[in-house]
Amino acid sequence: MNTMKKSGILFVVVMMCSLSMAFASGASESSGEGIELSILSHQVRTEVGEGGFVTGFFSALDEYIEDNPEIAIAHEGLDQTAYQTKITSLGAANDMPDIFMLKGSWVNTFVDNGWVVDISAELNADPEWKNGYIQGGFDAVTKNGKIYGIPQESMTTSLVFYNEDMWREIGYDTFPATWEELQNAVEKFKAKGIDTFAMGNRANWPAESCWLSTLGDRLTGTDWTNKIISNDPGVKFTDPEFVRSLEVFQELAEQGAFNPDINSINELEARTYYFNKKAASIVEGSWLISIIDSTAPEDVKSATKLAVLPEIKEGAGGANTASGGPAWFLAISNSVTGEEREAAIELLKYLTGPKQANVTASSGGITAWANPDYDKAKVIPLQQEYNSFIQNVRAVPIYDAAMEASVIETMNVGLQSLLIGEKSPATLAEEIQREQDRIQ
């Protein structure tokens, strides 16, 4: 019994020691000479060469590392969904990375929680830098006159990519200009067993970001949209114009314009439908341009043309509009200490200014930096077409870049049900408005 008791106590002591060592090791961070900056982004190195911005981002990052050998940079990249979870967790744990990517719809929460710092002072001190961005580039990250982030890309989220050959076969030389023409075309495609549009709404943002942002604005007008964004009590989601936009969207889905599995496949699988010619068109953002160039089959690539959603005559929002603008911003967090701040600002200039923009623009991205310097002739044909096409299109706000995150989540989830006829437009509008009312 005595030996058993002794070895029992010894065992417990050993357990305690090993446990305490396990807990102690994770906490300390190496600091000392040299500045260390941590970056968390949803750009992953393996994607370099695929989209324009990713290539520009890493090119600028590598250039900064080369120019500043005494500064240690720790970069971590995740996909967008995992990124959102991680940044929220780090914020709640008060352990934000020094530089991170901020989505327009998170600004209110992040500013209220003190997770992002105001960089107006540095911007105003360098007018050449501040004025180099496109008009309205800072709108989504400006709160109470203070600017909290720098725009990186200016994308159009609502671009119609259509297969010219397939549309010509049913008698359309160009994409329909009016909504009635589109509805007629849907009937013709249905008769041939082809989906008019491919949609992959499993992640639930494509339907809202690529379709509803434009469709809604067409019917409500941009004034209404801006008032919703600024939480003006005079406008509501239950206003008849917005409800009508939900009705129009639902009617199109019920008519059979989309593939039947819209809610169970993601955007990548939807693109496969378009590439395999099971669908005649796809509505996505300008990021798809370089993806089509690198992964689409030759015949689809050469037949792809661009358009915007057709005109809806009853709408107040005009015809040639598409949701677009900067959606993601680079920002500095409250983790940045005094001496690190200057280095962080410098890094921001690299990542969002001409060093990044020139590379991005030449690999087919559209930057928020107004005039990137690149060889226009080397750009892929679809990109050149986009550059001239977009001159005549007025940009309207992207819903999930500007509206509050909880409102967007209710909208996105509800749209999945709306598109399969499980929820009425009026009910969905009420649910979204209820969420909007809860915003303080």
Partner 1 sequence: MISLLLEQIHSDVMKEGGSLKNSSMRPKLGVAVLYLLPGILLYTLVVVIPIFNSFRLSFFRWSGGLKRTFIGLENYYILFQDSVFWQSFRNNIIITLISIVGQIGIAFIFSSFLYSRMIKFKSFHRVVVYFPATISAVVVGFVWSFVFNYDYGLINQVLEFLNLGSLASTWLDNPNTIIYIVSFPIVWQYIGFYMVIILSAMTSIDKHIYEMSEIDGANGIQKAIKITLPLIKRTMGVTVMLCIAGNMRIFDHIYVMTGGGPGTSSMVMALHVYKTTFIKSQFGYASAISVAILVLSLTLILISKLLINRPWARAK
Residues binding partner 1 (CB under 8 A): 1, 4-5, 8-9, 11-12, 15-16, 19, 84-85, 88-89, 91-92, 94, 106, 109, 112-115, 202-204, 260-265, 269, 273, 405-406, 409, 413-414, 416-417, 420, 422-423
Whose Cβ is closer to partner 1: residue 5's or residue 313's? 5
Find the shortest distance in angstroms from Cβ 119 to partner 1: 19
Find the shortest distance in angstroms from Cβ 46 to partner 1: 20
Whose Cβ is closer to partner 1: residue 88's or residue 184's? 88
Find the shortest distance in angstroms from Cβ 112 to partner 1: 6
Whose Cβ is closer to partner 1: residue 22's or residue 191's? 22
Find the shortest distance in angstroms from Cβ 91 to partner 1: 5
Burial class (CB in 10 A: 0-12, 13-18, 19+), 134: middle
Whose Cβ is closer to partner 1: residue 115's or residue 242's? 115
Length of the chain equals: 440
Running DSSP on this structure, what letter comes out for residue 134?
A: P
* β-bridge pairing 36-41 and 99-103: parallel
Token pair in block for residue 45: 């190195």
For the chain, the maximum distance between any two Cα atoms, rounded to a whole number of angstroms, is 95
Distance CA 357, CA 52 (A): 9
Chain centre to alpha carbon of residue 416: 19
Find the shortest distance in angstroms from Cβ 5 to partner 1: 6
Helix and strand numbers (H, E) in the chain are 21, 14
Whose Cβ is closer to partner 1: residue 351's or residue 407's? 407
Distance CA 417, CA 279 (A): 22
Find the shortest distance in angstroms from Cβ 161 to partner 1: 20
CA distances for 41 relative to 97, 116, 201, 296, angstroms: 10, 15, 23, 27
Whose Cβ is closer to partner 1: residue 34's or residue 297's? 297
Of 49, 84, 122, residue with least CA distance to 347: 122
Find the shortest distance in angstroms from Cβ 151 to partner 1: 22
Find the shortest distance in angstroms from Cβ 391 to partner 1: 36
The CA-based angle 319-320-321, given to 5 degrees, is 100
Give 26's contacts (C-beta < 8 A, 6+ positions apart). none
Whose Cβ is closer to partner 1: residue 115's or residue 162's? 115
Residue with tokens 């967008």: 80
Residue with tokens 């509805």: 183
Find the shortest distance in angstroms from Cβ 4 to partner 1: 7
Whose Cβ is closer to partner 1: residue 75's or residue 423's? 423
Token pair in block for residue 112: 């209220």
Residue with tokens 């399969």: 420
Distance CA 32, CA 262 (A): 53
Whose Cβ is closer to partner 1: residue 16's or residue 125's? 16
Of 54, 51, 50, residue with least CA distance to 41: 54
Of 424, 428, 425, 426, residue with least CA distance to 407: 428
